[in-house]
Chain A
Amino acid sequence: MIAEAGHYALVLALALALIQSTVPMIGARLRDPALMNVARSTALAQLLFVGLSFGALIALNVMSDFSVANVYENSHSMKPLIYKITGVWGNHEGSMLLWVSILALFGGLVAVFGNNLPLSLRANALGVQGWISTAFYLFILLTSNPFLRLANPPLEGRDLNPVLQDPGLAVHPPMLYLGYVGFSISFSFAIAALIEGRIDAAWARWVRPWTLMAWMFLTLGIAMGSYWAYYELGWGGWWFWDPVENASLMPWLAGTALLHSAVVMEKRNALKVWTVLLAILTFSLSLLGTFLVRSGVLTSVHAFATDPTRGVFILLILCVFIGGSLSLYAWRASSLKQGGLFAPISREGALVLNNLLLTTACATVFIGTLYPLGLEVLTGERISVGAPFFNLTFAPLFVPLLLALPFGPLLAWKRGDIAGAAQRLYAAGIVALVSIAVLWAWVRGGSAFAPLAIGLALFVIVGALTDIAERSMLFRMPLSISLRRARGLPRASWGTMFAHVGVGVALIGIVCETTWNTELISTLKPGDVAKVAGYELKLDDISQRQGPNFGEMLAHFTVSEGGKVIGTMTPSKRSFTTRAMSTTEAALMSRGVSQLYISLGDTAASGAIAVRIYHKPMVLLIWFGPLLMAFGGLLSLSDRRLRVGAPKPAKASRSLQPAE
């Protein structure tokens, strides 16, 4: 009964989406407010029905109703409750249902919070949302129905893939989808603007918070996924240039570019045509990511689905939406009026450079991910594109980007003074040069890469702080006045600072981890001691334990430093009987922002166990960086200007600019 109700709710949502995708747009054409307002109610009703459908699937999983094929294939009655819930989106059908639920959620949010939008813009944007939802409801109902019943219900389910039985599953996919799908809003607004043939600074102000929100979630989602891979897969790696990771990195890069170009559009009414194109491209890349992961075209850990009919269906959605939106763009973009002029050396110029480098980086990831697929289809030739390729092509793009980054916020709009900006960055430059020299001396003529990269990261961090210090007149006015000025700065400026500091922090983590990571692979018997990076790890004993749906072997280590015991670590190996699979549960011990990492290998007949011990210096910074970036996004989002959605008086904001 619940399954049928969930299925029916989804069909109703499809019907609502069909109404939403036609009636309001006709209304906008006829300038009929009543028809245009249909968008609002259908968006909210759609949210309600998709919510019911999603709730039904959760209920079926929690009740372990194995008469439903999807529950039978991915659940087990002994599975802990949290994994019964998160397992809902740990498979193809459920994750697509999560996808459309989030799409409906964003549609509902626009309906609720879009009161200050022009009626026709809201109607058209929600109409475009309606097209996207229609396509994906059809996809679910025709190829991936999660509510199918089994004729002969089995007594027990086949359990969830053990790798996914982890708290990470509760957070990573929803975050990632909030990011992916969130970009659909900027896409819909861009299409609506093209349909209306009108776009202005106000448009950018409406679109920016949605982009910012999607970008924040995507940032957190990617970081979370990276940390999950780090502790779950047991290799201690955190980024593999796996096509699935690349699929999430591409919209992130394009979305970051979009955030920056939307600033130019909002403040200076320039770069309109480009911003619209970026909004289209960002969501197109999200769709591409969905296609790559969901169609099973790539074989990797994340691809659970390998049914070609699904692949063809998503490919069709992809072609219709990307092809359609780009054609519309080609047709209508020339009708959008160009905005204000600016000199190459200016805030706008810096943001254009940011966009050039980020989109090139995005294109690099794109070609590296899809080239092997394309080549195999066209010539049958198989090649691999892995980390060494991206290190050579992708990484160098970040050098000019990071060098230019601190200059951006210090340049004035329209025509900037680069000498003046450089002068204000003296402190940052000195910190960077001193740290390069000191580090180089310390590694004693070793590779120059690490000192230079860390110097660059410090330049970015101190440079970002310089902007705030300059604007609050730190060291030039009494501290109390500076503090008051700092408090008075727009939250968006603080957001920029935190996000930019986050970039530098993540870079330090990446460089330290890759350069000074220590690894020890060895076989240990109880009583043996391993020495890694100044720590002694003694294997005390090995024990067995029975979990709810798995058996577990634990190794108990005592960790000491300089003869003093500092703690214990218990890595384990779990074997899941239902799927006859095992997972390694690495043990982590944080020392400051560095970590000790132990993962277990096979047990020998003699009772000795293979272990892999790593010391990863500064590794946590890799994920603190994105956290800072997302926090910066949150601060910007809470800025009064975006919250109120009305322009601030120009005078008030000008008084906060540093005196030139």
Chain B
Amino acid sequence: MWGKSLRALGALLYFAFAVMQPAFAVQPDEVMKDPAKETRARELSRELRCMVCQNQSIDDSEAPLARDLRLLVRERIAAGDSNRQVIDFLVARYGEYVLLKPRFEGQTLLLWLLTPLALGGGAFGLWWQYRRRSRLAENGRDERGALTPEEEARLQKLLASQASETME
């Protein structure tokens, strides 16, 4: 029953099942024995820049430098470093440039905060605008409906002349 209804969803699910195998992006000889440590190494590799490449992480790159860095990451993990220590070690050695995700600190404050600020600021601006306009509309002074003093005077005159006409 289950199997059939699942297959009805088509190729999507087929692939979900068929492809559930570990993938190796790195060379077979680099892989660590402990799968948990290897997973950590892969996750870290994806956040580190291959400094001689255009825009690749060391996990993607075939450059010799990327391989050296991958091995270095695994060496540090094998030595019992935490993820944080590995990152600190690499930054101390190669500078902030090695991180594809810059750290949250003084000089990257604007980089990290712009998205929430833009979203929050935009939402606040919209709310403020909405409130202002609906209050204006309530007071019957919607910008579109508002009359200039001259128009007001003309209207009064028209009303007055109409009133005098009906009186006649």
Contacts and interface: CB of A to CB of B under 8 A. Distances in A.
Interface in B1-51: 5-6, 9, 11-13, 15-21, 23-28, 46-47, 49
Given A344-B130, A435-B9, A519-B25, A384 B99 contact: yes
A560 interface: no
B97 A337 contact: no
B147 interface: no
A593 interface: yes
Contact of A237 (B20, B60, B108, B144): B60
A241 B137 CA distance: 46
B143 interface: yes
A423 B16 CA distance: 31
A518 B60 CA distance: 14
B16 A442 contact: yes
A392 B47 CA distance: 12
Highest count of chain B CB atoms <10 Å: which of A341, A359, A368: A341
A242 interface: yes
A384 B137 contact: no
B100 A618 contact: no
Interface in B109-149: 110-112, 114-115, 118-119, 122-123, 126, 130, 133-134, 137, 142-144
A383 interface: yes
B80 to A, nearest CB: 24
A352 B111 CA distance: 25
Contact of A382 (B9, B96, B100, B123): B96
Interface string B44-88: 001101000011110010100000000000000000000000000
Given A363-B118, A387-B57, A388-B46, A375 B15 contact: no
A522 to B, nearest CB: 7
B90 to A, nearest CB: 12
Given A344-B130, A508-B12, A519-B23, A388 B101 contact: yes
Given A384-B98, A533-B21, A360 B119 contact: yes
A347 to B, nearest CB: 15
B1 to A, nearest CB: 13
Given A344-B130, A367-B114, A533-B21, A385 B100 contact: yes
A301 interface: yes
A101 B22 CA distance: 50
Contacts of B26: 521
B107 interface: yes
Interface residues of B, number: 55
A381 B21 CA distance: 41
A62 to B, nearest CB: 32
A617 interface: yes
A458 to B, nearest CB: 9
Contacts of B134: 341
A438 B13 contact: yes
Contacts of B126: 352, 356
B23 A592 contact: no
Contacts of A517: 19, 23
A38 interface: no
Interface string A378-399: 0101111111110011100100
Nearest to B101: A388
Contact of A386 (B55, B96, B110, B118): B55
A375 B107 contact: yes
A438 B6 contact: yes
Given A356-B119, A367-B110, A383-B108, A617 B15 contact: yes
Interface string A519-553: 11110000000000110000000000000000000
Nearest to A342: B130
Contact of B97 (A300, A360, A364, A384): A384
A375 B97 CA distance: 12
A516 B15 contact: yes
A518 B19 contact: yes
A235 interface: yes
B111 A371 contact: yes
Given A341-B142, A387-B100, A388-B101, A512 B114 contact: no
A518 to B, nearest CB: 5
A403 interface: no
Nearest to A394: B115
Contacts of A522: 28
A439 B27 contact: no
A415 to B, nearest CB: 12
Contacts of B18: 533-534, 617
A449 interface: no
B100 A386 contact: yes
Interface string A571-614: 00000000000000000000011100000010000000000000
B144 A368 contact: no
Given A241-B55, A383-B96, 12 more contacts: A242-B54, A337-B144, A338-B144, A356-B122, A364-B115, A371-B108, A375-B107, A389-B102, A393-B115, A397-B119, A521-B27, A593-B11
Interface of A: 235, 237, 240-243, 299-301, 337-338, 341, 344, 352, 356-357, 359-360, 363-364, 367-368, 371, 375, 379, 381-389, 392-394, 397, 435, 438-439, 442-443, 446, 450, 454, 508, 512, 516-522, 533-534, 592-594, 601, 615, 617-618
Closest 9 pairs between A and B when the two form their complex, measured CB to CB: A386-B100, A617-B15, A388-B101, A516-B19, A382-B97, A360-B118, A371-B111, A519-B23, A367-B114
12 contacts: A243-B55, A360-B119, A367-B111, A382-B97, A384-B96, A384-B97, A384-B99, A387-B57, A389-B102, A442-B13, A519-B25, A601-B62
